[in-house]
Amino acid sequence: MGQRNRRVLVVDDEENARIGLSKILEQEGYRVDSVANGQEALDFLQRQSVQVVISDLQMPEMNGMAFLREINRHYPSTQVIMVTAHGGVESYLEAIHLGAYEYINKPIRLDELRIVMDKMLTEKRVAKAN
């Protein structure tokens, strides 16, 4: 399955960050949707499945950790990458413990994102084949 068939949901309350990341992913060949918060993301996921969710950690109403718990509860096959500008070791460990595939600090570097996405999708493909 090519990247064009890989659907990614970007969740970030900062519009510029959401738009910028979406454009980068689209240039990399992914189908991208974006929403402004965790509740909008959960509503979206009830209607549309995605392979990957890239979510900000710091969001109003439902923070990234609460959102991650809901994703794992209701959509366990969806991979989640957490991103944050305000992260530390504790939040990294919590995100990984809650099931995030990876935790990336902002500003997101394209080369780092590309490596994480390629590795994650390759592992998913291998797991599906087995």
Contacts of 86 (CB under 8 A, 6+ apart): 57, 58
* pTM, to two decimals: 0.92
* Strand ranges, E, within 1-129: 7-11, 31-35, 52-56, 79-84, 102-105
pLDDT of residue 85: 87
Instruction: Give the rounded percent of residues in the chain with a pLDDT score beyond 90.
Output: 78
Q: Give me the CATH code for the 3-129 domain, please.
A: 3.40.50.2300
Q: pLDDT value at position 1?
A: 44
